[in-house]
Amino acid sequence: MKLIGLILAMLISAPISANESVAATGETTALITEAIDHAETAQIHGKAGHTSTLLEYAQESLTHAQAAEKKLANTSPHLNESIKHLNEAIENAKQNHPETATRHMEKAIEQMRLSITN
């Protein structure tokens, strides 16, 4: 009888655990999507030579990407790579190199998109 109770308890709790996992994945995806939106805006400003605005949006993108990284149970190589490119973009923007910063933004966006699909 105890075994049946244990099995029932496991079956009842399984959907709750699965739903919690989906919620975390949805939250992580939302954070990455927000990071992509900021990165795309940074990229547009970088192409226009607006280095200070590129920097502002790149930093905001980095904040969201790092928050998503913290929510993940396992590491994401694509998200890690995007964070590296965001940091490079920020450093290049601080040095007033909008072309190089923009290239890093493009790579960061690509890696963030891959982190959602893979």
Fold of 24-117: Four Helix Bundle (Hemerythrin (Met), subunit A) (1.20.120)
Whole-number average pLDDT of the chain: 84
DSSP 37-49: HHHHHHHHHHHTT
Q: What is the pLDDT of residues 31-88, one digit of tens each?
A: 999 999 999 999 999 999 999 999 999 999 999 999 999 998 888 999 999 999 999 9
The pair phi, psi for residue 96, each rounded to 5°, is: 60, 45
Q: SS3 for 107? A: helix
Q: What is the pLDDT of residue 25?
A: 78
Interatomic CA distance for residues 4 and 117, integer angstroms: 40
74 Ramachandran zone, left/alpha/beta (phi>0; psi -120 to 50): beta
